[in-house]
């Protein structure tokens, strides 16, 4: 009789102590990938403009974006459409 009561108290203590208090994880990986993409594209744009391959920032961004998608195709952020280039389709 004492063993089931002891087991029930131990189980109640375990579940109420916070050991199983699962919270929803924050999407840190996505934020890190997005930050990396933005920094990489900005760096590559400045390299393209410094070498004289292009003087137009929009063209440099398009080239850098294509290079990023080829080089880092395994990342989730490389598969997302670029909000900057998609909004600049109107002249």
Q: How confident is the model at residue 8 (pLDDT cuts 50, 70, 90)?
A: confident
Environment class of residue 45 by beta-carbon count within 10 Å: exposed (0-12), middle (13-18) or buried (19+)? Answer: buried
Parent domain of 43: 31-80
- How many domains, the chain? 1
Residue 91 lies in a domain: no
- Calculate mean pLDDT across residues 16-29: 63
Residue 76 lies in a domain: yes
89: pLDDT strictly greater than 50: no
1: pLDDT strictly greater than 50: yes
Q: Which residue has the higher pLDDT, 58 or 78?
A: 58
Residue 44 lies in a domain: yes
Residue 50 lies in a domain: yes
- Calculate mean pLDDT across residues 68-86: 82
Residue 70 lies in a domain: yes
59: pLDDT strictly greater than 80: yes
Angle between helices 57-71 and 28-51 (to 10 degrees): 130
* Sign of the four-CA dihedral 20, 26, 28, 34: positive
Residue 35 lies in a domain: yes
16: pLDDT strictly greater than 90: no
Average model confidence (pLDDT) across the chain: 81
* CA angle 14–15–19, rounded 5-degree value: 75
In whole angstroms, what is the distance from residue 61 CA to residue 11 CA?
A: 58
């Amino acid at each position: 009789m004492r063993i089931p009561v002891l087991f029930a108290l131990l189980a109640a203590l375990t579940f109420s102590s916070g050991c199983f208090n699962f919270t929803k994880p924050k999407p840190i990986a996505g934020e890190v990938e997005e930050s990396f993409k933005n920094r990489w594209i900005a760096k590559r744009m400045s390299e393209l403009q410094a070498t004289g391959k292009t003087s137009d920032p929009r063209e440099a961004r398009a080239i850098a974006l294509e290079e990023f998608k080829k080089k880092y195709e395994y990342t989730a952020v490389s598969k997302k459409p670029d909000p900057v280039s998609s909004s600049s389709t109107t002249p």
